[in-house]
Chains A and B, each alone.
Chain A
């Protein structure tokens, strides 16, 4: 197990291989003989997205306003297959205005809307999509906006939603939750842009990155899902890091521990699940001022 999850990066000289590596006697997962096809020359190894998740209320808050959603499937038939995944985090806002309702509506509506459109592909009744992925994402966010304004007017949420298909991920993002890519060699990159006042000031060169972390308006968003009628969402598509990881989290994580620490914890963890638990623990150890939500994703080799 350990070798499997770690094998990608252990080759890197910057990251010394653990000394107990040679004591591991188990074979890497993918090299295990498949009991169902033993004796046959063909081996089927459908690609898929592996997932770890973890959530915590934190230390300072008394209830959770974050919501998350994950789905991983392998689509295809006997001749082809493609990995597909949907990963969403929403961070509700407004305390007494039912932030948890807004974030819950957001993830369910977005996920539901995407799944509805991709259903023919998942059920293998169609091999191509008529509607571009970016338009599917855009419409799902519009639906979520309408649902929040109808069911829970006045409340709002962030939304960072990833639709991963084959080697590309299409992202819909609004607010200050984040999606990161982690790649061998200590590279950790936020691919989303916070819609916060502090970040805007930083982008405009008014304050430095360090100032932004401590800025009093760090938590003030200039865009969100819900709250107002207008909706402006960032939609873009990027290659999925391979080898590498995808990390999606609320500001309860990234606002508390540094990118470098995040990378270190993920790289050292034994599995995706323990990585997520350790990330949450690290945020709580550092004071846990806010709700924490983490999704960690890896594409099988």
Chain B
């Protein structure tokens, strides 16, 4: 049938960009059937290429060479559910299964809602679900390969055991995906592989008799989805998701899972303009003298007119730009994964100087006292003369520095990937350091003599910015890469646990929390009385920062991984769907 290869995209010579290449053999002896198969494959590849959802791998390219067709798609690193089932001792927890189930419903809903034609996945089973390192689901192996199986005797689309009865009769509808999802959840909870059992025999293996810890509420949801007759199942994937959430709420399995009230429906907020880059936007934009500067994973730094988003110039580096550019005195400074820091004239878009490091830059530059301070994957914090582009000094940490430094009273504050946090004086000498248990990717901020940052170790820290004494720590549900911001002695941050937190800087008490239900990957920005923050599933939230009340949300179909920039009541932010948005607030 075919193989999947892990491959490197050689368009990016300086960085390692991994992709997955799926190879399909076209073995039909008949030339016209082969031709039809290729046409079908290409048509479907085109449909898949338009999909943009964090739970679906992105399609980069497709091509056919002789009797083989290839699909180039996003490389997902993680583990598939089938190997998770076999690799887990005992049963997988109910709350874990529910949260995966809810996410799978979201992906299927996205497909079923596809216009003009709904997309039926047809092949929901544990081995087609990847769980990423961040514990999110990605549906892999779309049924695209089916075109090349035509002609095989007794064609069976879908996998025996997970497929509903009607699929064996050649009928497919959204209800088939509901059944297969139910079968997948049944397998996850009972660890009984349906392929080893007679077809449609789930009723003979009641979940509660195999795994008595599962709540009757969840059992009920799965039983409905596994009904023999499609009309007895949930009428849509939406109602199945709601039933899963309701079961989770009833049993308290997911205490935190709540569907936030949508104040403004999708489409209620219209961007003033958008600008499409050629690849993901992961870094924050910067406003400077009428223009917006933003770096993208297509290696370019863009200069755009802030009023209408019209293109002014772009400057190509040799690596992805995942950082926020910094402007100073008519020049813009940007750090790139090409291991260089570029100083560019804002008017001409021409380079002034280039500084070479020995590792990729994921830390954004910070300017103070005639110097650019920036951390690099080469484990050094570089202090670069802003005029000459030459190093004044560098400071060696023992791990990559991806956090953006903060300048406080002639000291440079930043974290490193081994969990250390440093205070360096302007001569490049260590003043103090502090260690957390895991990486500090979050960029620190200072308020009233205290420095704040999050860590992958699930804690948020407040330190005396001068002496480095830890004053308090706040425990979150999961680790954080979010760079905090403050207003009125409240510090705002978010975490991979899907919660945006507001914490009193003095008492370390939680002022409010907002459950975004999805990893908070973007950093918050305060403007007037609102907080703006994006999540990994592409939603930008506008929250009243004193109360934590949702004002509106805006959905992009990518992940938001940086902080929005505000100037003149316009909010600018990028998404991994390649688009930069300008929204009036």
Interface on A for B, CB 8 Å cutoff? 80, 82, 127-135, 165-168, 170, 234-239
Q: Is the CB of A129 within 8 A of B467?
A: no
**What separation, in Å, do the CA atoms of A168 and B472 have in the docked complex?**
12
- Output the nearest chain B residue to A75 by Cβ-Cβ distance: B467
Option from B431, B449, B470, B507 in Cβ contact (under 8 Å) with A131: B470
Chain A residues whose CB sits within 8 angstroms of the CB of B450 once the complex forms: 168, 237
Q: CB-defined interface of B451-485 with A at 8 Å, one 1/0 digit per residue? A: 00000000000101011111111000000000000
Residues of B close to A165: CB separation below 8 A: 464, 467, 469
Contacts of A236 in B (CB 8 A): 504, 506-507
- Nearest chain B CB to A79's CB is how many angstroms away? 9
Q: For the complex of A and B, list the 9 residue pairs with the smallest distance between their C-beta atoms, beginning with the closest.
A: A166-B467, A236-B506, A134-B472, A236-B507, A132-B470, A132-B472, A239-B449, A168-B464, A133-B471
Interchain nearest-CB distance for B358 vs A (Å): 29
Q: Which residues of A contact B152 (CB under 8 A)?
A: none
Look across to chain A and name the residue whose beta carbon is closest to the beta carbon of B465.
A167
Alpha-carbon gap, A134 to B470, bound state (A): 9
Shortest beta-carbon distance from A50 to chain B in Å: 19
Partner of B469, one of A129, A235, A239: A129
Are A134 and B508 touching (Cβ within 8 A)?
yes
Q: A118 CB to closest chain B CB, in angstroms?
A: 10
| Cβ contact within 8 Å between B469 and A166 | yes
- Given contacts A165-B464, A168-B449, A235-B507, whether A134 and B471 have CB atoms under 8 Å apart is yes
Complex CA gap A166/B448 in Å reads 13
With A165-B464, A237-B450, A239-B448 known as contacts, the answer to whether A135 contacts B433 (CB < 8 A) is no
Nearest residue, chain B, Cβ from A168: B464
- Name the CB-closest residue of B to A240: B449
Query: Which label, helix, strand, loop or mixed, suits the secondary structure of the A interface?
Result: mixed
Across the interface, do B470 and A237 meet the contact criterion of CB distance under 8 Å?
no
B432 at the interface (CB under 8 A from A): yes
A28 to B472, CA, bound (A): 38
Complex formed: what's the CA distance from A129 to B469 in Å? Answer: 6
Whole-angstrom distance between the Cβ of A180 and the nearest chain B Cβ: 16
Say if the beta carbon of B265 comes within 8 Å of chain A.
no
Q: How large is the interface on B (under 10, 10 to 19, 20 to 34, 35 or more residues)?
A: 20 to 34
List 7 extra interface pairs beyond A128-B469, A133-B472, A237-B462, CB under 8 A.
Answer: A127-B468, A128-B435, A129-B469, A134-B508, A135-B472, A166-B466, A236-B504
**B356 at interface by CB-CB < 8 Å:** no
CB distance A128 to B470 under 8 Å?
yes
Set A80, A167, A234, A235: member contacting B464, Cβ < 8 A: A167
Residues of A within 8 A of B567 (CB): none
B434 located at the interface, meaning its Cβ lies under 8 Å from any Cβ of chain A in the complex: yes
Specify the chain B residue showing the minimal Cβ separation from A171: B506
Query: Could you say which residues of chain A place their CB within 8 Å of the CB of B433?
Result: 128
| Chain B residue at minimal CB-CB distance from A76 | B467
- Least CB separation from B508: chain A residue: A134
Is B435 a contact of A166 with CB atoms below 8 Å? Answer: no
Q: Measured between alpha carbons, how far is A236 from B508 in the docked complex, in Å?
A: 7
Cα-based distance from A14 to B287 in the complex (angstroms): 44
Contacts of A239 in B (CB 8 A): 448-449
Check A168 against B434 for contact (C-beta < 8 Å).
no
Q: How far is the CB of A7 from chain B (nearest CB, A)?
A: 23
Minimum Cβ distance to chain A for residue B362 (Å): 26
- With A127-B432, A165-B464, A235-B507 known to touch, is A133 a contact of B448 (CB < 8 Å)? no
Residue with the highest number of chain B CB atoms closer than 10 Å, among A80, A128, A165, A170: A128
- Asked whether, in the complex, the Cβ of A167 is within 8 Å of the Cβ of B470, the reply is no
The answer to whether B469 and A133 have CB atoms under 8 Å apart is: yes
A174 CB, nearest partner CB in chain B, Å: 14
Which residues of A lie under 8 Å from residue B448 when comparing CB positions? 238-239
Contact A238 B467 (CB under 8 A): no
CA distance A170 to B450 in the complex (A): 12
List residues of chain A with CB within 8 A of the CB of B471. Answer: 132-134, 168, 170, 237
Check B507–A128 contact: CB distance below 8 A: no
What residues on A are CB-neighbors of B467 within 8 Å? 82, 165-167
Nearest residue, chain B, Cβ from A170:
B471
Q: Do B506 and A237 have beta carbons less than 8 Å apart?
A: yes
A279 to chain B, nearest CB (A): 27
Q: Shortest Cβ distance from B457 into chain A, in angstroms?
A: 13
Q: How far is the CA of A223 from the CA of B467 in the complex (A)?
A: 34
CB distance from B299 to the nearest CB of A (A): 41
A150 to chain B, nearest CB (A): 29
B174 CB → nearest A CB, Å? 52
Bound-state Cα–Cα, A128 to B420, Å: 12
B506 contact set on A, CB distance < 8 A: 236-238
28 A-B pairs with CB atoms under 8 Å apart are A80-B431, A128-B468, A128-B469, A128-B470, A129-B470, A130-B470, A131-B470, A132-B462, A132-B473, A133-B469, A134-B471, A134-B508, A135-B473, A165-B464, A165-B467, A165-B469, A166-B466, A166-B467, A166-B469, A167-B464, A167-B466, A168-B449, A168-B464, A234-B507, A235-B508, A236-B506, A237-B472, A238-B506
Cα-based distance from A235 to B506 in the complex (angstroms)? 8
- Taken residue by residue from 126 to 152, chain B's Cβ proximity to chain A (1 for < 8 Å, 0 otherwise) reads as 000000000000000000000000000
A149 to B518, CA, bound (A): 46
A165 to B449 Cα, complex, angstroms:
12
Partner of A167, one of B449, B472, B473: B449
Contacts of A80 in B (CB 8 A): 431-432
In the complex, residue of chain A having the shortest beta-carbon distance to the beta carbon of B433? A128
In the complex, what residues of A have CB within 8 A of residue B449's CB?
Answer: 167-168, 239
Q: How far is the CB of B397 from chain A (nearest CB, A)?
A: 16
Name the distance in Å between B465's Cβ and chain A's nearest Cβ: 8
Chain A residues within an 8 Å CB radius of B431: 80
Chain B nearest CB from A135 CB (Å) reads 7
Nearest chain A CB to B430 CB, angstrom units = 10
- Complex: A165 Cα to B432 Cα, angstroms: 15
Evaluate contact between A168 and B469: CB separation under 8 angstroms: yes
Chain A residues closer than 8 Å to B468, beta-carbon distance? 127-128
Output the nearest chain B residue to A235 by Cβ-Cβ distance: B507
CA distance A82 to B467 in the complex (A): 7
In Å, the complex CA distance between A133 and B471 comes to 5
A238 to B450, CA, bound (A): 9
A6 to chain B, nearest CB (A): 25
In the bound assembly, the distance between CA atoms of A82 and B469 in angstroms comes to 11
User: In whole angstroms, what is the CA distance A122 to B72 when docked?
Assistant: 61
> What is the CA–CA distance of A236 and B507 in the complex, to the nearest angstrom?
4
- Name which of B432, B434, B464, B469 has the most chain A CB atoms within 10 A of its CB: B469
| Least CB separation from A83: chain B residue | B467
With a cutoff of 8 Å between Cβ atoms, the chain A residues found around residue B472 in the complex are 132-135, 237
Whether the pair B434, A128 counts as a contact (CB closer than 8 A) is yes
State in angstroms the CA–CA spacing of A129 and B467 once bound together.
11
Closest Cβ of chain B to A133, distance in Å, is 5
**Set of chain B residues within 8 Å of A237, measured between Cβ atoms:** 450, 462, 471-472, 506
CB distance from B60 to the nearest CB of A (A): 47
